[in-house]
Amino acid sequence: MRLFTMLYGAFCYIAFFVVFVYFMGFVGDVFVPISISSEVDVYSENALLVNISLMLLWGIQHSVMARSWFKDMIASVVPHHVERSTYCLVSAIVLAILMYCWQPMAGLVWQVESPMIVKVLWGLFVVGWVLVLMATFLTNHFDLFGLRQSWLYFCQKTYTPVVFTEILVYRWIRHPMMTGLLIAFWAIPTMTVGHLVFSTGMSIYVLIGIYFEEKSLAKQLGQHYIDYQRRTKRLFPKFY
């Protein structure tokens, strides 16, 4: 059973990693056969409705499964040592469905012509994803994706929660991972209608998700987190 738990955790981690790497190409319209702005001969009349539904599916799954009441509800079926791995696996499946079922949309919103500005935007695009990855390691990458939980169970060690520390970017902003995603969603030289719909929808999800996440963290960590909220910004640091 312990070996199965460890293998399950590793499988879920790899599955999410593969899907997420494809997602980066999907958002940037690079290196993947199907992207957010793929062109087709005939565009679906229901593309907007389908795409909004897909983003709602992602938002509901990602938010509901992260809530404490949902974790408590499924605790008898999905124990703690595989709960995070299962969350990552389901997230990978839903994200794969979103990308596979995404409906291309005709129309161009903007296209940057200046080579210098194009390079700057692509640089910001890369910075956004680097910030996302860096933020996972500044907290605890392996705990966030469930590997630490399954490993401790395999070694028959008691799980201890990761202690929150204000390190590097976390000294100025509370959600650097979400900041990185917002940058990656919008720092694009060619903005199609489909990409605009995606970036707008996912940005709204990020803001709603942050609201509920902060309520949960304030309840969980108490005054320490409330004080942290007062001296930091949610997404972008204040420049003096």
| pLDDT tens-digit series, residues 46-80 | 999 999 999 999 999 988 888 878 888 888 888 88
- Specify the pLDDT at position 239: 60
| Percent residues over pLDDT 70 in the chain | 99
- Answer whether 154's CB lies under 8 Å from 2's CB: yes
Mean pLDDT over each residue of the chain, to the nearest integer: 89
Look at residue 206 in the predicted model and tell me its pLDDT: 92
In angstroms and rounded to an integer, the radius of gyration of the C-alpha atoms of the chain is 19
Give the per-residue pLDDT at 115. 93
Task: Note the helical H segments in the chain.
Answer: 2-28, 47-64, 68-73, 80-101, 115-139, 141-144, 147-154, 176-186, 193-221, 223-231
Asked if residue 238 has pLDDT above 80, the reply is no
Question: What is the pLDDT at residue 10?
Answer: 93
Q: Is the model's pLDDT at 40 over the cut of 60?
A: yes
What integer is the mean pLDDT of 158-162? Answer: 83
